[in-house]
Amino acid sequence: METNTGYPRKLESVSEAPTQFSEAVRSHLPATDGSRLVLYAPRSPVGDEVAPATALVITDVGWVLASENADGGISVERCTFSDTLFPN
């Protein structure tokens, strides 16, 4: 995996993210999508470490975060705003 020194940026749609991220995120979006904000941050050096590439999608009902694994795969986490703001 190559380190990209580009800057995090706002994307117009999920499809603008690198393919592995857009495919991973799309499978976790609601059927109506409802994407309000899409942010992509390429892998970047942070001191002696390297921060993984990530894609964050804010939807009408929550968020979806895809991040690169050490083995090059993609992990996806998602949460609704009701679970974020009013956890049990």
Q: 74 is written with which tokens?
A: 């993609």
Asked if residue 3 lies in contact with residue 41, where contact means CB atoms within 8 angstroms, the answer is no
What are the distances in angstroms from CA 48 to CA 4, 15, 45, 64, 74?
Answer: 15, 32, 7, 28, 22
pLDDT value at 34 more than 80: no
Scan for tokens 């009701």, then name that residue.
Answer: 82
Confidence band for 4, pLDDT divided at 50, 70 and 90: low
Question: Global pTM?
Answer: 0.82
Q: How high does pLDDT run on average in the chain?
A: 86
pLDDT value at 3 more than 50: no
What are the boundaries of each domain within the chain?
9-85
Q: What is the pLDDT of residues 42-68, one digit of tens each?
A: 998 888 988 899 999 999 888 999 999
Going 3 to 48 to 57 to 66, the CA torsion angle's sign is positive
Q: 86 is written with which tokens?
A: 């009013």
